[in-house]
Amino acid sequence: MNFAVGFKPMLGTSQSMDNLEKQLICPICLEMFTKPVVILPCQHNLCRKCANDIFQASNPLWQSRGSTSVSSGGRFRCPSCRHEVVLDRHGVYGLQRNLLVENIIDIYKQESSRPLHAKAEQHLMCEEHEDEKINIYCLTCETPTCSMCKVFGAHKDCEVAPLTNVYKRQKGELSDGIAMLVAGNDRIQAIITQMEEICKTIEDNGRRQKQHLCLRFDSLYSTLEERKKELLQEIGREQEEKVQLVRELIRQYGDHLEVSSKLVESAIQSMEEPQMAVYLQQSKELIKKITDMSKVSMSSRPEPGYESMDHFSINVDHVAEMLRTIEFQTDITGEDTEAEGPGPEGGDAAGEEEHPEGLDAPEGTEDVGLRPKPASASHAGQH
C-alpha cells in the first residue's frame, strides 16, 4: 500500500519544538520520557520503567522491591554510552529523579497539543484516497491503510485493526526486543571482560613460570660450574706433583752431568801432560774419581706411562641423557609447590593446567617444577 505524506504550514517555532522533542525521546521505548525520569551516573536519562526493565533483564536473580528479603545490588550498562551503572539494594528506585527533564516535558506538552509524532500522523494521507488519513492497519497485508481502502479498495477482504493498537503493540515488542538486546550485550560484555582477565592471568602465570624455569636452570648451571671447578683443581694438583717430581730428577741428572763433564776436562788436560812424573802424580787421583763417578747409579726415571693423565677422563653421557629428559612435573604436591603456597584461587591447580572447560574455571596455576622423566632400564643399568 503506497501512501503520501503531506505537511501543513507550521509556526515559526516548529523547528525548535521538533529539536526539543528529539531530546526528550527515551532511547529504550523511543517515546517521550514518562515520569518519573531517572538520571544515570553518566548523566543520561531513562524512563524509570525502561531502566527497571533493563536492570531486571541484566540481573534476573535480583529480588523485586516488594520482596521481604534483603536484596543485593546489581548493575547494567547505559544504552546510550555503555557506561556501567552500579546500583545498590534499592535498584533503579535508588536513582535520582531528573526533575528538570520532567518539568521540560510538562511545558512541552502544554505548548504542543498533540502526543508524540502526532504531527506526522495527522498528515499521513492515503495515496489512492487523497482526502483520507491512514488510520487502520491491514493485518493480512501487514501495511497501514485507510478506511476507504477497507470498504471499497484493495483491502476490503482483509482483516484490519486500529492503527493505534497495532502501533502500541509493535512499539512494545520493539521495546522488549531492545531491552533483551541490551541485556544480551551486557552479558556478552561481561564475558569479554572475564576472558580478557583470563588472558592477563595466563600471561602473568606464563611470565612467572618462565622466571621460575630460568632460576632452576641457572641453579643447574651453577652446580655444573662448581663441580667442574673441583675436578679441574684435582687434575691440577696431580699435574703439579708429577711435574715437580720430574723436574727434581732433571736437576739431579743435570748436577751429575756437570760434575762428570768437569772430570772429563780434567782428565783430558792430564793426558796432555808431557812429563811422566807429573802425570803419574795426578793420574792416580783422576782414575779414582772416574771410577767412583762411573759407579754412581742414575737409574731413577719415571715409570712408563707416568705422564699419562687419562685416568681423569669422565663419562657424562648418562648425565646428558638425564638432562634431556627434564620435563614439567604433573604432581604439584612437592616441596617447591608447598613452599610457594597456593595459587591465586587458593585451590589445587593440578587439573586446571589445560584449557578450562568453562569461564568459571580457576585462573591461577601453581608453580611447575622440573623433574626428569623415568629413565629406561638400559640407562638405569649404566648409572
Determine which of 92-96, 197-201, 287-291 has the lowest per-residue pLDDT on average.
92-96
Residue-by-residue DSSP string for 252-286: HHHHHHHHHHHHHHHHHHHHT---HHHHHHHHHHH
User: For residues 288 and 360, which has the higher predicted lDDT (pLDDT)?
Assistant: 288
Determine which of 151-155, 227-231, 284-288, 306-310 has the lowest per-residue pLDDT on average.
151-155
Q: What angle do CA 365, 368, 373 make, to 5 degrees?
A: 140
pLDDT score for 344: 41
Residue 315 has pLDDT above 50, yes or no: yes
> What would the grid cell of residue 329 be?
612435573
Residues 6+ apart with CB under 8 A from 119: 10
pLDDT score for 63: 54
Residue 192 has pLDDT above 80, yes or no: yes
- For 270, what's the count of Cα atoms within 13 Å in the CB-facing half-sphere? 18
Rg (C-alpha) for the chain, rounded Å, is: 53
Determine which of 153-162, 213-222, 320-329 has the lowest per-residue pLDDT on average.
153-162
Residue 18 has pLDDT above 90, yes or no: no
The whole-angstrom distance between residue 78's C-alpha and the CA centroid of its chain comes to 29
User: For residues 113 and 182, which has the higher predicted lDDT (pLDDT)?
Assistant: 182
Cis peptide before 36 (omega within 30 of 0): yes
pLDDT tens column, 333-344? 544 444 444 444
Distance CA 29, CA 53 (A): 11
Residues 6+ apart with CB under 8 A from 8: 122, 123
Measuring CA to CA, which residue among 219, 172, 3, 34 is closest to residue 109? Answer: 34
Determine which of 107-116, 246-255, 308-317 has the lowest per-residue pLDDT on average.
107-116
Distance CA 134, CA 204 (A): 65
User: For residues 280 and 217, which has the higher predicted lDDT (pLDDT)?
Assistant: 217
pLDDT score for 183: 83
- Parallel/antiparallel/unpaired status of strands 37-39 and 96-97: antiparallel
Distance CA 355, CA 332 (A): 18
pLDDT score for 4: 41
pLDDT tens column, 36-76? 777 788 888 888 888 888 877 777 665 554 444 434 567 78
pLDDT score for 87: 82
pLDDT score for 371: 54
Neighbours of 376 (CB within 10 A): 11
User: For residues 214 and 266, which has the higher predicted lDDT (pLDDT)?
Assistant: 214
Q: Which of 110-114, 115-119, 347-351 has the highest mean pLDDT?
A: 110-114
Query: pTM for this one?
Result: 0.44
Residue 171 has pLDDT above 60, yes or no: yes
Residue type, 151: V
Instruction: Assess contact for 29 and 9: CB atoms under 8 A.
Output: no
Residue 178 has pLDDT above 50, yes or no: yes
Residue 330 has pLDDT above 50, yes or no: yes
Distance CA 76, CA 186 (A): 7
Residue 181 has pLDDT above 70, yes or no: yes
- Parallel/antiparallel/unpaired status of strands 37-39 and 45-47: antiparallel
Neighbours of 145 (CB within 10 A): 25
Distance CA 111, CA 288 (A): 154
113 pLDDT tier (thresholds 50, 70, 90): low
Average pLDDT, the chain: 75
User: For residues 115 and 291, which has the higher predicted lDDT (pLDDT)?
Assistant: 291
pLDDT score for 123: 52
> Whole-angstrom distance between the N-terminal and C-terminal Cα of the chain?
94
